[in-house]
Structure 1
Amino acid sequence: MSTVGLYVPGHSPLHRTPAGAKLLALLLAGIGLVVWADHRVAAGALAAALVLYPAVGLPLRRAWSALRALWPFLLAIGLFQVLFADWQTALRLCAQLAALVLLANLVTLTTRVREMLDLFERLVRPLRHLGANPDRIALVLALTIRSIPMAAAAWEAAREGYRARGLSGRPHLLVVPVIVQLLRMADATGEALVARGIDEDTRH
Structure 2
Amino acid sequence: MLSLYHEARSPVHRSPAGAKLAVLLVVGTGLFFVRSIAALGAALLVVALCYAVAKVPARVGLRQLRPVLPVLIAIVIAQLVLTGWVTAVLVGQRVLVLVALANLVTLTTRTSAMIDTVEAVLRPLRPLGVRPERVGLLVALTIRFVPVLKEQVDQVRAAHRARGLRGTRFLTPLLIKTLRLADGLGSAIEARGGPD
Q: Is the 8 A contact 1:50 1:63 kept in 2?
A: no
Q: Report the TM-score when normalising by structure 2.
A: 0.81
127, 143, 146: which is aligned to 1:145?
Answer: 143
Q: Is the 8 A contact 2:6 2:107 kept in 1?
A: yes
1:140: Cα distance to partner? 2.2
Q: Is the 8 A contact 1:39 1:89 kept in 2?
A: no
1:59 maps to what in 2? 57
Pick closer, same or farther for the CA change 1:57–1:151 going to 2, 3 Å: same
Moved more, 36-45 or 21-30: 36-45
176, 192, 198: which is aligned to 2:193?
Answer: 198
1:181: Cα distance to partner? 4.0
CA distance in structure 1 between the aligned counterparts of 2:178 and 2:97, rounded to whole angstroms: 28
Pick closer, same or farther for the CA change 1:161–1:192 going to 2, 3 Å: same
**Does 2:20 correspond to 1:26?**
no
CA distance in structure 2 between the aligned counterparts of 1:84 and 1:152, rounded to whole angstroms: 30
Q: Is the 8 A contact 2:80 2:88 kept in 1?
A: yes
Pick closer, same or farther for the CA change 1:45–1:155 going to 2, 3 Å: farther
CA distance in structure 2 between the aligned counterparts of 1:53 and 1:178, rounded to whole angstroms: 34
1:53: Cα distance to partner? 3.1
Partner amino acid, structure 2, of 1:198: G
Pick closer, same or farther for the CA change 1:161–1:42 going to 2, 3 Å: farther
- The alignment yields a C-alpha RMSD, in angstroms, of 2.7
Larger RCO, structure (CA 8 Å, separation 6 or more): 1
Q: Report the TM-score when normalising by structure 1.
A: 0.79
1:176 maps to what in 2? 172
182, 186, 190: which is aligned to 2:182?
Answer: 186
36, 39, 42: which is aligned to 2:37?
Answer: 39
Aligned positions of 1:1-204 closer than 5 A = 6-163=4-161, 165=162, 167=164, 170-187=166-183, 189-190=185-186, 193=189, 197-199=192-194
Partner amino acid, structure 2, of 1:149: P
Pick closer, same or farther for the CA change 1:198–1:53 going to 2, 3 Å: farther
Pick closer, same or farther for the CA change 1:60–1:162 going to 2, 3 Å: farther
1:58: Cα distance to partner? 2.3
Unaligned runs of 5+ in 2: none
Q: Is the 8 A contact 1:113 1:142 kept in 2?
A: yes
Q: Is the 8 A contact 2:11 2:53 kept in 1?
A: no
Pick closer, same or farther for the CA change 1:184–1:80 going to 2, 3 Å: closer
Q: Is the 8 A contact 1:33 1:41 kept in 2?
A: no
Pick closer, same or farther for the CA change 1:159–1:49 going to 2, 3 Å: farther
Give identity over the alignment, percent.
37
